[in-house]
């Protein structure tokens, strides 16, 4: 089993020394660097390059520079996706964003996690767990979403939150750790 196959299976894999994964990260980061240098007025060029970086997209998408990801092909975004400046997506596992997702500035989504054992960590070992974001979700600025988290439809994640566990649909959730504070009435 290759390191990439181990990663997709949710197993411990070597991310730091596997040449296939290293080359894929370099290619994605080169594309992100190119994207971040495009003029803001070049909306067609920006959209085209995003569609080349990301695994799957809706038609109406916008990510303000700067944007960085590990692989790109593990990121799926729905229709009407908007992310403000300084989005970081560590997409070692799949990250799925539904339709009408709005992300404030300086937000991060991390699928990778590292062993507690220092020897394994120093050998470059890690695991990756997918993140799933439903439709009509809004993230305030400076939100961090950790590996394996799912966020339900119509939810608002307050600014500065650290999302460590699943958040249900139709709530306003905030804090570190992020917790539902109130329901959203329909």
C-alpha dist (Å) from residue 173 to 1, 111, 152, 160, 178: 40, 20, 11, 11, 6
Q: What's the CA gap between 77 and 96, in Å, rounded? A: 6
User: Is 114 noted as a catalytic residue in this protein?
Assistant: yes
Tokens representing residue 36 in the block: 């971040």
Q: What's the CA gap between 149 and 165, in Å, rounded? A: 6
- Please tell me which residue in 51, 114, 132, 179 is annotated as part of the active site: 114
DSSP 48: H
Buried b (16+ CB within 10 A) or exposed e, 48-61: ebbeebbbebbeeb
Strand partners, 131: 95
Active site residues per annotation: 114
């Amino acid at each position: 089993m290759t390191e990439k196959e181990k990663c997709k299976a949710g197993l411990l894999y070597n991310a730091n020394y596997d040449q296939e994964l290293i080359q894929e990260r370099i290619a994605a980061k080169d594309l992100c660097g190119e994207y971040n240098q495009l003029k803001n007025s070049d909306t067609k060029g920006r959209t085209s390059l995003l569609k080349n970086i990301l695994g799957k997209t809706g038609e109406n998408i916008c990510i303000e520079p700067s944007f960085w990801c590990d692989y790109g092909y593990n990121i799926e975004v729905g229709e009407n996706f908007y992310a403000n400046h300084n989005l970081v997506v560590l997409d070692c596992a799949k990250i799925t964003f539904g339709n009408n997702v709005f992300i404030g500035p300086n937000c991060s989504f991390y699928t990778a996690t590292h062993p507690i054992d220092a020897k394994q960590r120093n050998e470059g070992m890690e695991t990756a767990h997918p993140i799933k974001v439903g439709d009509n979700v809004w993230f305030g600025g400076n939100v961090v979403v950790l590996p394996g988290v799912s966020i339900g439809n119509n939810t608002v994640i307050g600014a500065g939150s650290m999302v460590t566990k699943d958040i249900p649909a139709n709530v306003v959730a905030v804090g570190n750790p992020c917790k539902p504070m109130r329901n959203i009435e329909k």
